[in-house]
């Protein structure tokens, strides 16, 4: 999947592009709406992922311009917005998906992948939402990086499968407007976050929230460049003990 990320904040855009690339996307960055329009004239993409506020226009204005181009009928548009950036203009611009600005990039990818289910990704290890069937008794080890829907697997089963496979990386979970994460090191949970909570309390809250929602998306991003070294160690229990206490 080819994503054009439109964001005037260079540091933020670089960090997000790295995370999206780690999940298998081919990401290009445009610093403004006008530059994005120029790029799309010469270089087709599957999805435009834009900030709500750009240096030269609003994200919904960029979407409206693109919708008027008959050559871009298959292009999908996702907008990243804070609550104070939401208004009626967004609803009328033809935007396909609105993502909370507080959502982690890895979680965003799980939702973006639903927009272009037929698009191929550079990584054969990435499984798009709706395609994954990670049933623990039938799977020896999950793929390196993967994403999917919580309609097909429970969070506790997913965590157990990652642990048994000895994976190192971050499991990102999106439950409605709520997002959480669980960090694994060689299959052991070392950190969890959900809202303002961290550690074992966040882990328990994440499991409870997933059981209430019964739907959502997830993405597991394998640690390939040592990024986990900066992750705090707030959990010191075995996975079986954590799940029994949830």
Taking the alpha carbons of 22, 35, 77, 54 in that order, is the dihedral positive or negative? positive
**Mean pLDDT to the nearest integer, 162-185:** 84
pLDDT for the residue 132: 27
Higher pLDDT, 75 or 127: 75
User: Is residue 7 over pLDDT 80?
Assistant: yes
Question: What's the mean pLDDT when you consider all of the chain?
Answer: 80
Higher pLDDT, 245 or 138: 245
pLDDT for the residue 227: 54
pLDDT for the residue 165: 87
Those residues whose C-beta lies under 8 Å from the C-beta of residue 99, and which sit 6 or more positions away, are 78, 79, 80, 81, 108, 111, 112
DSSP state at residue 234: -
Name the pTM for this structure.
0.53
Sheet with strand 217-222: strands edge to edge: 146-149, 217-222, 169-175, 178-185, 188-194, 197-198
User: Is residue 19 over pLDDT 80?
Assistant: yes
Mind giving me the DSSP string for 7-61? -S-HHHHHHHHHHHHHTT-EEEEESSHHHHHHHHHHS--SEEEEESB-SSSBHHH
- Of all residues in the chain, the percent with pLDDT exceeding 90 is 32
pLDDT for the residue 235: 93
User: Is residue 120 over pLDDT 70?
Assistant: no
All CATH 3.40.50.2300 domain ranges in the chain, comma separated = 2-112
CA 129, CA 146: separation in Å to the nearest integer?
Answer: 9
Topology of domain 2-112 in CATH is: Rossmann fold (3.40.50)
User: Is residue 126 over pLDDT 70?
Assistant: no
What sections of 197-245 are H helices per DSSP? 199-213, 239-244
55-59, 142-146, 219-223: the lowest-pLDDT one: 142-146
DSSP state at residue 176: T
**N-to-C CA span, the chain:** 37
140-165 per-position pLDDT tens digit? 334 456 777 787 788 888 899 899 88
Instruction: List the helix and strand counts (H, then E) for the chain.
Output: 8, 11
**Rg, C-alpha atoms of the chain:** 18
């Amino acid at each position: 999947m080819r994503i054009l990320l439109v964001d005037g904040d260079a540091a933020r855009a670089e960090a997000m592009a790295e995370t999206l690339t780690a999940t298998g996307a081919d990401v290009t960055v445009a610093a403004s709406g006008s530059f994005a329009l120029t790029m799309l004239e010469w270089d087709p993409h599957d999805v435009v992922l834009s900030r709500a506020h750009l240096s030269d226009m609003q994200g919904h204005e960029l979407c409206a311009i693109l919708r008027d181009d008959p050559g871009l009928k298959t292009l999908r548009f996702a907008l990243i917005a804070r609550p104070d950036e939401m208004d009626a203009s967004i609803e009328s611009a033809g935007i396909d998906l609105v993502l909370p600005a507080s959502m982690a990039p890895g979680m965003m990818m799980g939702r973006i992948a639903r927009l272009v289910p037929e698009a191929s990704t550079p990584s054969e290890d990435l499984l798009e939402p709706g395609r994954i069937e990670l049933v623990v008794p039938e799977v020896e080890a999950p793929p390196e990086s993967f994403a999917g829907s919580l309609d097909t697997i429970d969070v506790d089963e997913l965590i157990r499968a990652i642990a048994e496979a000895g994976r190192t990386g971050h499991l990102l979970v999106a439950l409605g407007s709520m997002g959480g994460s669980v960090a694994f090191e060689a299959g052991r949970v070392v950190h969890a976050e959900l809202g303002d909570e961290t550690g074992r309390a966040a882990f328990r809250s994440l499991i409870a929230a997933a059981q209430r929602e019964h739907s959502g998306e997830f993405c597991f991003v394998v640690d390939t460049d040592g990024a986990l070294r900066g992750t705090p160690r707030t959990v010191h229990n075995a996975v079986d003990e954590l799940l029994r206490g949830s």
